[in-house]
Structure 1
Amino acid sequence: MIACFLLTALSSSVCARDIFVDNVAGDDRRKGESPEINARAGGPCRSIRRALELAERADRVVIANTGQPYHESLTLQAGRHSGLPSRPFTIVGNGATLDGSAPVPRDAWEQVEGNIFRFRPRRATFQLLFLDGKPAPRRMVDRSQGFPELEPLEWCLLDRTVYLRVDKDRLPHQYDLSYTSLQVGITLYEVRHVLVTDLVVQGFQQDGVNAHDSAFDTTLVGLTCRGNGRSGISVGGASRVKIYASLVGNNGTAQVRTEGFSRTEIINCDLIDAAHAPATVREGGQLTIQNDAAGS
């Protein structure tokens, strides 16, 4: 029995491979066996989702930074997306961007009065509006004060509806406006020994990264999680997550949030808080923050 277990572990380690992704030159009919197209290996996949379908225990998914965002949501779940203590299942981002935003459809806007327009996104519990690819100025709503007095190009969220004031004699479709559309950037569920590195995760309606439950020995290194509707990184359930050298800011209600019985370690990270979105929000779990520079 022990011999069989050791043989299985050894074979998994030996067979672990790299799967390459390129959203410009790739093709999801390929198996991602090489970073470039060639007759022998075929070439990269086009989507990260396809690479995860092909992946097995302890593999590495290597993402090309083409300058074009990857518009998709990822889920890592169970044994096939887990690694070994000596070789974690790894997503290598190479600085690429995972983007959950979408343009606001031209016909989605409805005039309320004057320069005030509104639209109702499909998911609106948490929401951000972007102008020219950056979070637009937001006015937080105090219901006791009634509808807020919006400045030009300022927006608010009220009753699951986005309200925007445009400039005089302008219409919403004359601006480059987008919103958080896809729900979560990377969901981790019931996985072990996972490493995610060097990836920008932005524009998701809920969280950039969500270790939902039982994500054990999960490490996030060099991530930038920004412009997500609820939080940049959320750790819940019984998950055990370490976050190193990451930048988390401009998220909707929290930069990093924890809940349940999770344990989260934040090491040498830059958490950019705001009045409506603190650096950390604890709704359960254990949270420790370490900054080596502060102690030197």
Structure 2
Amino acid sequence: MSRWLSLWIVIVVGLTDLLQPARAADIHVDSANGFDGNDGLAAVITTATNGPVRTLKRATQLAQAGDRIVLKSNGQPFFETLYLTGGRHCGFASRPFTIEGNGAVISGLRDLPPDGWRPQGPGLWRLSLTRKGHYRFFRDNQPIPEFLPTTRSMALDDLPLDHYFSHQGAVIFRFDEGYVPYTELWTYAAADIGVSLVDVRNLQIRNLTIVGFRVDGLNADGNCRGVVLDNVTLEHNGRAGLSANGTSQVFVESSRLTGNGRHSAVITEYARVNLQNTDDGGVEPTVIE
């Protein structure tokens, strides 16, 4: 290597370091006790404006490149989508932009209106939802398994007990005869995506559960690079736990992609997903070219 080339590399590396913010901030989010008028710079409220924010949306508005968004796990899920886009939500090789979940949950579940149930026959009940294609249902916080028929001509009587399936634009359930579903608490996957990544670089997401979204738990689109999921659970989402598209590259370590509707992970276009020490529920990632 020539002397001038070595000097040029040193200058470029030095300039890159100078472009980094002098100090990374921790933006704290507390879904129970936070307030979006706070600055997010403290885990607990200390003054009229110093304390955690309440929503993920506000945290992403305050965050800058190389920062950490720190979630508080208090038993109350975040019922919203986390949107991260290139620029201010990117990190650096030496200091990634980080989502520290601390065991918190991002949920796409909403209460199922009890007046939506319609009897369809002995032990059979019907639901019609506005948004169709992918479904996930929970009864008293327990997932109800979906039945995937092998033919389109399946008779309703062939539906297994305590299962559901999509039928002619509606959803059909089978229960014990005499059971009335609207007497219990039901939730369903209402929101589309749990975490949306677009063109982010050097991002780490840790210790987080993403559950109950209609389509995907996490979607990486565009040109996402240096994305690491560490101890992240993506489960019971309607289509896939993880979706990687465009030229995105996602490394998944010590995580769970289980109980999702069609795929543990779906990979399209030129994207890449690397699973290490990760439970995919026996369902290998699906590559769609």
Maintained 8 Å contact 1:13/1:87:
no
Shift of 1:111: 2.2
Q: Say if 2:184 is the partner of 1:175.
A: yes
Counterparts of 1:184-203 in structure 2, within 5 Å, are: 184-203=193-212
Deviates further, 171-180 or 212-221:
171-180
User: What's the counterpart of residue 120 of structure 2?
Assistant: 112
Q: Do the aligned partners of residues 148 and 115 (structure 1) sit closer, same or farther apart at CA in structure 2, a change above 3 Å counting? A: closer
Q: Say if 2:84 is the partner of 1:79.
A: no
Maintained 8 Å contact 1:232/1:254:
yes
What is the TM-score normalised by the length of structure 2? 0.90
Q: In 1, Cα distance between the equivalents of 2:211 and 2:49?
A: 32
Q: In 2, Cα distance between the equivalents of 1:104 and 1:97?
A: 20
Partner amino acid, structure 1, of 2:214: Q
Q: Say if 2:286 is the partner of 1:281.
A: yes
Residue aligned with 1:14, SS: coil
| Residue ranges of structure 2 left out of the alignment (5+ in a row) | 1-9
Instruction: From the two aligned structures, give the one with the greater strand fraction.
Output: 1
Q: In 2, Cα distance between the equivalents of 1:85 and 1:43?
A: 29
Q: In 1, Cα distance between the equivalents of 2:13 and 2:156?
A: 64
Q: In 1, Cα distance between the equivalents of 2:87 and 2:169?
A: 38
Q: Say if 2:163 is the partner of 1:158.
A: no
User: What's the counterpart of residue 20 of structure 1?
Assistant: 28
User: What's the counterpart of residue 5 of structure 2?
Assistant: none
Q: In 2, Cα distance between the equivalents of 1:27 and 1:38?
A: 12
> May I ask how many residue pairs the two structures share in their alignment?
279
Report percent identity of matched pairs.
Answer: 31
Partner amino acid, structure 1, of 2:84: L
Q: In 2, Cα distance between the equivalents of 1:145 and 1:171?
A: 24
Counterparts of 1:262-273 in structure 2, within 5 Å, are: 262-273=271-282
User: What's the counterpart of residue 102 of structure 1?
Assistant: 110
Q: In 2, Cα distance between the equivalents of 1:103 and 1:160?
A: 20
User: What's the counterpart of residue 67 of structure 1?
Assistant: 75
User: What's the counterpart of residue 98 of structure 2?
Assistant: 90
Maintained 8 Å contact 1:34/1:42:
yes
Q: In 2, Cα distance between the equivalents of 1:148 and 1:251?
A: 25
Shift of 1:204: 0.4
What is the TM-score normalised by the length of structure 1? 0.88
Partner amino acid, structure 2, of 1:29: G
Question: What value does the CA root-mean-square deviation take over the aligned residues?
Answer: 2.1
Residue aligned with 1:143, SS: coil
Structure 1 runs of 4+ aligned residues shifted over 6 Å read: 2-5
Residue aligned with 2:115, SS: helix
Partner amino acid, structure 2, of 1:10: L
Maintained 8 Å contact 1:13/1:84:
no
Shift of 1:9: 5.1
Larger Rg: 2
Q: Deviations over 1:138-171 (max 9, x none)?
A: 2213213344523442211123321112333232
Structure 2 residue aligned with 1:235, among 231, 240, 244?
Answer: 244
Structure 1 residue aligned with 2:213, among 204, 223, 229?
Answer: 204
